[in-house]
């Protein structure tokens, strides 16, 4: 009786997850490789010849490569500020966490009010006399500025998550380690390099994996800011399903996202691991 009861408690969650995750996953794989006539690669050919797919892949990867290091550095810096316990840190902490609960779409709209042609940034530039009519930040001809706006919006929206993970990680590191480093003559930089960051590695790993997986799924920010002018992989899934009504190709794009997710997770687990025996 005693040994059976945990499984009774776990059963509902297992059933629900199998029904809503397991089965659809199998269906997604089948859909991407099958049509009425059985196995086919036609959906993949269609996807690869689509002019939006490669830019979407490139943009997605580019976004991650640019945004993640910035977020990591920013979040570590913010966490160190929290550790310094300045005045009003409660208020700062609240503001730094607000984006946690802000959806991608809302974040995109927020930055739209800034980067719009007649938005706040251009208003500022024009009234300062730095520009005559403002910069067309979101124009489809301006790939660089589009990337820049999406990068800024993503940093604004998702740094909080990394920040919270890093702060939580820092709080479980006993203060003794840092104090020992101080007494033994380490400067702030040396303490970071030799003590804080290595001990923080498990948290950083979690943050990196989670953020990469989430960043691979980003699309609404770009959608709100640029429409389809700055395509991202998940945006393509949405496009293929909702507007082009082609679930098969949509599934194929989704599988690309899945493969990238699993790939990066494995990569991080291999590279950011602690040396054997440490800890």
Site for other proteins in 118-137 (CB under 8 A): 118-120, 122-124, 126-127, 134
The answer to whether 202 contacts other proteins (rule: CB under 8 A) is: yes
Among 33-41, 60-68, 137-145, 260-268, the segment contacting other proteins (CB under 8 A):
260-268
Site size toward other proteins, by CB under 8 A: 123
Is-contact 119 113, C-beta < 8 A?
A: yes
Where residue 241 falls (left for φ over 0; alpha for ψ -120 to 50; beta otherwise) is alpha
Where residue 16 falls (left for φ over 0; alpha for ψ -120 to 50; beta otherwise) is alpha
Number of CB atoms found within 10 A of residue 219's CB: 23
The answer to whether 21 contacts other proteins (rule: CB under 8 A) is: yes
The answer to whether 154 contacts other proteins (rule: CB under 8 A) is: no
- For residue 134 the two structure tokens come to 């403002």
Q: If residue 248 lies in a helix (H) or strand (E), which one and from where to where?
A: helix 247-271
- Binds other proteins (CB under 8 A): choice among 42, 186, 192, 272: 186
The answer to whether 164 contacts other proteins (rule: CB under 8 A) is: yes
Lookup result for tokens 């989670």: 210
* Phi, psi angle pair for 83, to nearest 5°: -60, -30
Closest among 142, 138, 141, 147 to 114, alpha carbons compared? 138
Cα atoms in the Cβ-side hemisphere of radius 13 Å centred on 253: 29
| Nearest to other proteins of 18, 54 (CB atom) | 18
| Nearest to other proteins of 20, 41 (CB atom) | 20
- Binds other proteins (CB under 8 A): choice among 95, 141, 144, 270: 95
The answer to whether 38 contacts other proteins (rule: CB under 8 A) is: no
Site for other proteins in 165-184 (CB under 8 A): 165, 167-169, 171-172, 174, 176-177, 179-184
- For residue 42 the two structure tokens come to 């036609």
Q: If residue 34 lies in a helix (H) or strand (E), which one and from where to where?
A: strand 34-35
CB of 201 to other proteins, least distance (A): 8
The answer to whether 215 contacts other proteins (rule: CB under 8 A) is: no
Query: What track of x and - describes contact with other proteins for positions 218 through 247 (by CB under 8 A)?
Result: -xx--xx--x------x--xx--xx----x
Site for other proteins in 68-87 (CB under 8 A): 74, 77-78, 81, 84, 86-87
Among 43-51, 65-73, 140-148, 270-278, the segment contacting other proteins (CB under 8 A):
270-278
The answer to whether 17 contacts other proteins (rule: CB under 8 A) is: yes
* Phi, psi angle pair for 62, to nearest 5°: -60, -45
């Amino acid at each position: 009786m005693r040994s059976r009861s945990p499984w009774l408690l776990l059963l509902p969650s297992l059933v629900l997850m199998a029904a809503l995750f397991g089965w659809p996953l199998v269906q997604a794989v089948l859909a991407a490789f099958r049509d009425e006539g059985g196995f086919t690669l036609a959906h993949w050919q269609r996807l690869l010849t689509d002019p939006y797919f490669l830019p979407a892949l490139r943009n997605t990867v580019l976004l991650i490569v640019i945004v993640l290091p910035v977020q990591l550095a920013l979040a570590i810096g913010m966490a160190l500020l929290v550790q310094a316990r300045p005045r009003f840190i409660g208020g700062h902490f609240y503001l730094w966490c607000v984006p946690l609960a802000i959806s991608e779409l809302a974040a995109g709209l927020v930055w739209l009010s800034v980067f719009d042609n007649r938005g706040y940034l251009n208003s500022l530039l024009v009234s300062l006399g730095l520009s005559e009519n403002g910069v067309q930040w979101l124009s489809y001809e301006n790939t660089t500025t589009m990337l820049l706006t999406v990068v800024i919006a993503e940093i604004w929206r998702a740094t909080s998550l990394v920040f919270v993970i890093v702060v939580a990680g820092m709080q479980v590191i006993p203060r003794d380690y840092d104090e020992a480093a101080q007494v033994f003559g380490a400067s702030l930089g040396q303490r970071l390099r030799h003590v804080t960051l290595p001990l923080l590695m498990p948290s950083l790993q979690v943050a990196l994996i989670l953020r990469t997986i989430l960043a691979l799924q980003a699309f609404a920010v770009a959608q709100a800011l640029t429409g389809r002018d700055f395509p991202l992989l998940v945006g393509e899934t949405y496009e293929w399903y909702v507007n082009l009504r082609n679930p098969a190709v949509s599934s194929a794009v989704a599988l690309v996202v899945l493969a990238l997710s699993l790939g990066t997770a494995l990569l991080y687990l291999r590279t950011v691991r602690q040396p054997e025996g440490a800890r």
